[in-house]
């Protein structure tokens, strides 16, 4: 019995981290696991609660096969630890914060992966990116244009709209994860 990898994706600023945090709180004690990402971006940069690694630390882990998934984006390196393999082998659903550009590679490694796309109205997305202050307006426009180059298509794709109340989006993601958690328990 293997658990399901739930691969959450969406454009930067869509609120993936907030939606995942809300869903994690709702599912505390359920058996669903939310993996932290290993990122070369400093923890002080804001955003998700991730494990900061220097370039050298990241490369050492990569060289030693300690990432189940890894990619580069926006000048940073991202990794999902190989510990998810143990969690999945125990039949637990595992939620990860993924990358739209890396989805094909992730599906190749985890064919039963369930992609979940966090979407947001484009005007709201632009406002969120401006409000967080990490990038200049020109960089934001480039990021928005880049986002349009990654349409997501997958036969099992689930969608979560985060244009409105965060609690609604978190509840939707929690319901998706919970549905998979319950189907795992029934199969056992």
Is 30 labeled as ligand-binding?
no
How far, in Å, are 15, 95, 111, 156 from residue 102 at the CA level? 19, 16, 14, 16
Is 42 labeled as ligand-binding?
no
Is 15 labeled as ligand-binding?
yes
Is 17 labeled as ligand-binding?
yes
Cβ of 94: how many Cβ atoms within 10 Å?
25
Is 10 labeled as ligand-binding?
yes
Mutual orientation of helices 166-187 and 16-26 as an angle, nearest 10°?
50
Is 12 labeled as ligand-binding?
yes
The residue written with tokens 């990402």 in the block is 37
* Cβ-contact 147, 10 below 8 angstroms: no
Is 98 labeled as ligand-binding?
no
Is 13 labeled as ligand-binding?
yes
Residues recorded for the chain:
188
Write out the binding residues for ATP: 10-17
Write out the binding residues: 10-17
């Amino acid at each position: 019995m293997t658990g399901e990898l739930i691969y959450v994706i969406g454009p930067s600023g869509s609120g993936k981290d907030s939606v995942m945090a809300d869903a994690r709180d709702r599912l505390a004690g359920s058996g669903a696991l939310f993996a932290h990402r290993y990122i070369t971006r400093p923890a002080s940069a804001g955003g998700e609660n991730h494990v900061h690694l220097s370039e050298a630390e990241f490369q050492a882990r990569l060289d030693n096969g300690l990432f189940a998934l890894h990619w580069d984006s926006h000048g940073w390196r991202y990794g999902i630890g190989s510990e998810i393999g143990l969690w999945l082998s125990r039949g637990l659903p595992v939620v990860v914060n993924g990358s739209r550009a890396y989805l094909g590679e992730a599906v190749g490694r985890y064919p039963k992966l369930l992609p979940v796309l966090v979407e947001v109205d484009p005007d709201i997305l632009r406002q969120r990116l401006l409000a967080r202050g990490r990038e200049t307006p020109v960089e934001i426009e480039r990021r928005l244009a880049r986002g349009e180059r990654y349409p997501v298509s997958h036969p099992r794709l689930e969608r979560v709209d985060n244009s409105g109340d965060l609690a609604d989006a978190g509840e939707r993601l929690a319901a998706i994860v919970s549905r998979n958690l319950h189907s795992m328990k029934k199969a056992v």
